[in-house]
Structure 1
């Protein structure tokens, strides 16, 4: 007997969009879909591993004070891991990776984000292949597809 599988239709995204990270209290932040990156990343200006009551955790602040979405909230996570990641210059660096949620096209997805000091980069969030595969197809000639749909739905 032959197995049949139902293929889920992939959503089309542009090279850039805006997304929400509800657990990080960030809405409509610029994201870039980057097929050259395996892991997704978010810019943080403060990242530190601490030990409290004998247990390790990381504390971090998303974005930096110059960013319009910055809110100075100190986040902490005890469920994290460290991973060696090649940066955009090809250099390996060890980063902390957290699991959180992203909302795009009104759908909530789990996503692993590496915490990175990306202050000199144009895009505060990169969405890598690990997240993109199986969900999205990228049309590099377009941008903000999900965000435009969201704004149209709000007007109705």
Structure 2
């Protein structure tokens, strides 16, 4: 049985979220995090067309890629997630596509306030387990491949 080829990813890279119309975002790889996370500006549950939906905007007005675009997800959930300080917080979780190394992966993202952090996106183990090996001595491997 032939094993699936692994993709080497560095400690950070540049990714695209095509369904969210966000491109060229800096992402930090975090093997300590289970779920990936993305910085959000505003999120609330509203009623739209007779159903509860999650309405949110991503990034914030100070981020260069901020576009003030509203998103509406019918498929979402709330989950208690421990932050990097070990404190539990309830977050909204959505599933969307991420493009990296020229491949598209479907994965979960928790909406997290990452406004004071350098990287608006954190890539967790749930995504990394889809065939990635982390080499912390390297950076921007996907971005370099895309530019080549």
In the superposition, the TM-score normalised over structure 1's length comes to 0.92
Q: Deviations over 1:105-140 (max 9, x none)?
A: 100110100011111112100000111014101110
2-structure distance, mates of 1:21, 1:12: 20
**Structure 2: runs of 5 or more not aligned:** none
Question: Match for 1:80 among 56, 76, 98?
Answer: 76
Aligned residue for 2:141? Answer: 145
How many aligned positions are there? 148
Taking the TM superposition and a 5 Å limit, the aligned residue runs for 1:57-76 are 57-76=53-72
1-structure distance, mates of 2:145, 2:127: 21
Q: Which is greater in Rg? A: 1
Structure 2 residue 128 is matched with structure 1 residue 132: yes
Root-mean-square deviation (CA, aligned residues, Å) is 1.0
Aligned residue for 1:55? Answer: 51
Q: Deviations over 1:58-112 (max 9, x none)?
A: 1111100111111110111011111110011111111111110000010011010
**Structure 1: runs of 5 or more not aligned:** none
Q: Secondary structure at the match of 1:141?
A: coil
2-structure distance, mates of 1:132, 1:125: 14
